[in-house]
Structure 1
Amino acid sequence: ELESTIPPITVPAWASMVTSKDPGRLGFYGFRNRADYSYDRMRIANSRLVTEDTLWDILSRAGKKSVLVGVPQTYPVKPTNGYIITSFLTPSTSNQYTYPADLRDEIEALVGEYMLDVNNFRTEDKDDLLQQIYEMTEKRFTVLKYLLQEKEWDFCMLVEMGPDRIHHAFWKFLDPQHPKHVPGSPYANSIEDYYKYLDGQIGEILELVGDDTLTLVVSDHGARHMEGGICINEWLRQEGYLTLKEEPAGIVPIEKVEIDWDRTLAWGAGGYYGRLFLNVQGREPQGVIPAADYERVRDEIVHKLSQITDERGTNIDTVSYKPQAVYQEVRNVAPDLLVYFGNLAWRSVGSLGHGSIHTRENDIGPDDANHAQHGIFIMYDPRSGGRGRVEGLHLMDVAPTVLDGFGLPIPADMQGKRIAYGRG
C-alpha cells in the first residue's frame, strides 16, 4: 500500500509524488483553489502553480532525458530535457498538449486524434464509456511504446486515467456492499477485465525496457464504494453557520446563491472531500469571526462534524483535518478544515436546495466510488533480489526512490524517504 496525501485527490497528490512536498508546501489543495481571501476569486492548479522542483527538473539538470505521458499539472507545457504529452487537465487537444510542439504531429500520425480523457465518465451510457476507456488506454500505451522505442530517454512516467474513470463509473456493479449494487449486471466484471487488459499492456512495456530498469507501479490514491453525499452547506445552514439572503429555487451551486456574509461564519465546497472555510474578521471582506475566536469556532465545527449520522441515525465517522496539523507549512489560501465525510465513504456536496443534509444522488452526475487514503505500490529494483511486502510507504517516497535509482543525491528539503527494500 502507498499512503496518499491529505487530501487523496489527483491534484495535489501527483504533484506531491513528483516533488516529495506535501500540499501545504506546494500551496494547492485541489483542482480549484482560493486565489486570495475574497469570496469568489479562484485559480486552477495547473503547471504554473507547481513552483517546487519536480523529478524531471532535477533529472534535467543532471543531463537526464524524461518522457512524460499523462502526468497531471504538466499543462501548460514547460520546456524540459525530453518529451511531454500533457494530461486530462488540458482543456482540449486544440491546445498545445505536447513538448516539443511538433511531437503532436508524430502522435496524431500514429493514433489519429489523441484522447486526453473520456468525454464524460459521469454518464449512464456505460457501453459507450467502456469503449472510450479502452480506446483512450490503447492510444496512450501505443504512444508510450513509440516514445520508448524511438526517443532517447532515461526516465519515463505514464499516468493512465482509465482506472480512475472505470472505478467511478462501474464500482456498483462489482461491489455487493455498494448501496446501489446491481446483482447479475453484465458490467459485473468490467473493472476486473480492464485490470487484465492493463496488466497485458504493462507487460509489453516491461518487455521493452528490460530487466535492468527500476520499475514502479503506483497510484495517487485508492478507491472505495461511495455511500452517498453529505450536503456540506445544507449542514452549515442547519447548524447556524451559513445564512442565505433568499431560499434557492431548486438545487443550485453555492456560487449562484446570494449569501448574507454579515451573518455567515462558514461555507463549504463539494468534491470527494469537503473543504470548509471560515469567515474571519480582518481576513475575509465581511469577516464575522473575531481572530481571537478562530480556534474555538474551528474546534466547535470539528466536534459537530464528527457527530454527523446517516439517515438512520448511525454515526458515519467523519474526520476533519486542520492544515496546520498535517502539513509542514501552509502556503497560499488553504481550507480552514479538510473534511472526510464518513472517512471518505461519503462525498461532499456543495450545492444548496436539497432540503436535507443527505443525498444518494451526485449533483454533478452518477458516480459510484470515492477515493481512498491508500493506493497501490509495486516496485522492481534490479539491484535487489528481494521479494516481499514493505509497510509504511508514502506517496512522497517515490521521488527520492527514483533519484536514488539514478545514483543522484536526494535534496534535503524532500519530505519523503528512499524505498530500499532488500538493500541498504
Structure 2
Amino acid sequence: MSQGNGGSPHQRVVVIGLEAAEPTLVEQWANEGKLPTFQSLMQKGIWRRLRSTTEISSGATWASLITGTNPAKHGMGFYHRQLQPGTYTIRKKYAEQTATEPFWNQLSRHGKRVAILDLPDTYATEDLNGVMLVGWGAEGLNAKQHSWPKKLLKDIFSRVGHHPLEFWYQERPKDIAAWKAFSDKLLEGTRRRTQIAKQVLAQEAWDCYVIGYAEAHWIGHYFWHIIDKRHPDYDPELERECGDSILKIYQEIDRGIAELITMSPEATVMIVSNTGMGPNFSGQHLLPQVLEKLGYSKGPSSAGLKQLLPHQKWGPYYAIKSIETLVSAKLMETIKRVIPEKVWDSVTRRILTMGNNWKDSLAFEVPSDYSGAIRINLKGREPHGLVEPGGEFDHLCARITQDLLELVNPDTGEGAVAGVIKVKDVYQGDRLDEMQDLIVQWKGNAPVNHLESKKIGRVSGILPDKRSGAHMVNGFMLAAGRSIKTNQQLEDAHIMDIAPTLLHVLSEPIPDIMDGKVLSDILS
C-alpha cells in the first residue's frame, strides 16, 4: 500500500451517490437557480466531470467507483446478463462476486465508523464497523435485500416503509395518468430515502457516511423522450403534462442534500454520479444481423426459436421482447415475486441464449446495455474456440473494427459507429477474460433503425427497449468542505479516482491494486 500525503485524523466525509444523474441537466438547472444546493456547492467547491467505465457497461461503474479498480480486475460488466466464462451461456452476476473490495472495508478494519446506505450494486458486509443497507430502493437489484446489522432493514421498513417501486418489473406506462403516477412514486421514494438518510446520519458522528439515490436513474431511463424532441417517442401533450418530471426528482434530491449537509457542517461532502443519461439511440440490436451478414457469426441453430424469434431479429433484446409479448409484464412481475430470485435469474438468462450458434462463430454479440459488445470465439478460452490468440485474434479484431466503421445510418446519411475499443488495450487484470473483446460505440445522434454498408446491404429493426434514456459515459463529481479547494472547475477525472481520494482524506493508505489516483488538485 502507498500512503497518501496529508489528511487530518479527525476528518469526516459524507458521500452522496446519484445514480445516472446527467451533468448537463445539473449544470443547466443549477445555473437557473432551480437546484439551489447544487448552485451553492458549485460556487464554493469543486465541480468536474467524471469519466466512467460505461463503455464496458453501466453495470461496471459502481464497482469501479467503490473499489478504485478497472473492470478487468473487479470482474463486473453488464452483470444483469454477463457471459459465464468457459461457456456460451449467460448468467446474472451478483454484487458479492465483485473480485476487489470496496474502500469502506478498509476503513472498517482500521476502526473507522462507516454507514453505507443503499448505494447501488453493493452487498452488506457482516461485522462491518457500522451499518449498511442494500436494496431498499434499487433500480436494478443485484444482491438480495438485506442489511447489517440484520435488524436494520426491518427497522427501516417499520419507520419509513418500503420504496413505492420495490420489485417493480419495469412496465412502461400506457397513458398520461400512468406516467404521472410513476413520477409520483419516484418522488415519494426520494423523500423516504432522505428520511432514512437523516435518521441514520443523526445516530452518530460517522467517519464515512455514504447514501445512494437511485431515482435519477429510473426517471432518466423512462422519461427521457418526454424532454428530448429528437426522440421518436416524443409527444408534445406528454411534455405539457409531465415535462417537469425529471426536474422534480432532481429538485427533491437537491432538497435532501441540503438537509444532510446541514446536519454535517464540518464534513467534507462529495456528490458523485456514476454515469450520465441521454437518448437511447443504440444500434446494438442490429449487431447480430450485421455480424452474420459479414460472415463472422452464425444465426440460431434451433428451428423452434426461428419461429418464435424471426431469424433476422435474433439477439438478446428481441428474446426479451418476445417473451414479454407472450407473457404480460404484469404476469411476469407476479411470477418473479413467487419464484426464488436465483432460480428466476438462472432460467431467464438461459432463455436469452437458447439455440445460439456461438460455438460455430468467429465472433458473436453478447448482451450489453448501450454499447455493442462483441466476443471473439478464442481458442483456449471458449470451449469450442476457432480463433488463435495473438496475431489471428488481433487481425480479426482489426477486420471487424473496419467493417463496423463503414456502417451508415441511412436516416442521417452519417456513420453510425463513433469508434470501436479493443478492451485489452484499455483494461488489464485477472478478470479480463470475463469481458467482451470489442466495444462498439454508437454515434448517438439519432435512432438506429437501419444499418447499411457495401458489404452487408441493409439490415433493419426497431430497438425493442421500453427505456427511452440510456447511460452516457460522463458522470460528475461535486466536492466541498474543509478538505476541498474553493470555486474551481478542473479537467475531467475518472470514477476510479474517487475511492483512493476518499481514503486519502481519511488518512488511509492507498492499496496497490487500485487503478485510480488521489485527486490531489482538489484538496486544500
TM over 0.5: yes
Q: SS where residue 263 of structure 2 aligns?
A: helix
Match for residue 352 of structure 1? none
Measured after TM superposition, the shift of residue 422 of structure 1 is: 5.7
Cα deviation code 1:61-95 (max 9, x no counterpart):
22111111122332365431111111325479xx5
Structure 2: how far apart are the matches of 1:394 and 1:330?
21
Match for residue 168 of structure 1? 221
Cα deviation code 1:331-377 (max 9, x no counterpart):
2422121222226977999xxxxx97444442xx4111111111121
State how 1:263-302 maps to structure 2 within 5 Å.
263-270=360-367, 271-291=369-389, 292-302=391-401
Match for residue 335 of structure 1? 436
Match for residue 376 of structure 1? 476
Match for residue 145 of structure 1? 198
Q: SS where residue 156 of structure 2 aligns?
A: helix
8 Å contact 2:496–2:515 — kept in the other structure?
yes
8 Å contact 2:54–2:275 — kept in the other structure?
no
Structure 2 residue corresponding to 1:97, chosen from 120, 134, 146: 146
Match for residue 237 of structure 1? 292
State how 1:377-392 maps to structure 2 within 5 Å.
377-384=477-484, 386-392=486-492
Where do 5+ consecutive residues of structure 2 fail to align? 1-48, 317-351, 451-456
Q: Does 1:213 align with 2:313?
A: no
User: Larger RCO: Structure 1 or Structure 2 (Cα < 8 Å, ≥ 6 residues apart)?
Assistant: 2
8 Å contact 1:242–1:264 — kept in the other structure?
yes
State how 1:12-31 maps to structure 2 within 5 Å.
12-31=60-79
Q: 1:226 to 1:329 in 2, by over 3 A?
A: same
State how 1:334-373 maps to structure 2 within 5 Å.
334-342=435-443, 357-362=459-464, 365-373=465-473
Measured after TM superposition, the shift of residue 152 of structure 1 is: 5.2
Q: 1:411 to 1:262 in 2, by over 3 A?
A: closer
Q: Does 1:108 align with 2:162?
A: no
Q: SS where residue 383 of structure 1 aligns?
A: coil
Structure 2 residue corresponding to 1:39, chosen from 88, 91, 96: 88
Measured after TM superposition, the shift of residue 282 of structure 1 is: 3.8
Q: SS where residue 507 of structure 2 aligns?
A: coil
The two structures have a TM-score, normalised by structure 2, of: 0.72
Match for residue 224 of structure 1? 278
**Could you tell me the percent identity over the aligned residues?**
23
Match for residue 307 of structure 2? 249
Cα deviation code 1:164-190 (max 9, x no counterpart):
110111111112233332225211111
Structure 2: how far apart are the matches of 1:389 and 1:325?
30
Q: 1:168 to 1:114 in 2, by over 3 A?
A: closer
Structure 2: how far apart are the matches of 1:385 and 1:256?
51
- With 297-306 and 124-133 compared, the bigger mean Cα shift is at 124-133
Match for residue 305 of structure 1? 404
8 Å contact 1:221–1:374 — kept in the other structure?
yes
Q: 1:172 to 1:236 in 2, by over 3 A?
A: same
Q: 1:402 to 1:269 in 2, by over 3 A?
A: same
8 Å contact 2:120–2:214 — kept in the other structure?
no
Measured after TM superposition, the shift of residue 301 of structure 1 is: 0.8
Q: 1:317 to 1:339 in 2, by over 3 A?
A: closer
Q: Count how many residue pairs are aligned between Structure 1 and Structure 2.
A: 413
Structure 1 residue corresponding to 2:127, chosen from 71, 74, 79: 79
The two structures have a TM-score, normalised by structure 1, of: 0.88
8 Å contact 1:310–1:358 — kept in the other structure?
no
Q: 1:357 to 1:377 in 2, by over 3 A?
A: farther
Q: 1:406 to 1:330 in 2, by over 3 A?
A: same
The alignment's C-alpha RMSD in Å is: 2.8
Structure 2: how far apart are the matches of 1:77 and 1:58?
12
- With 162-171 and 317-326 compared, the bigger mean Cα shift is at 317-326
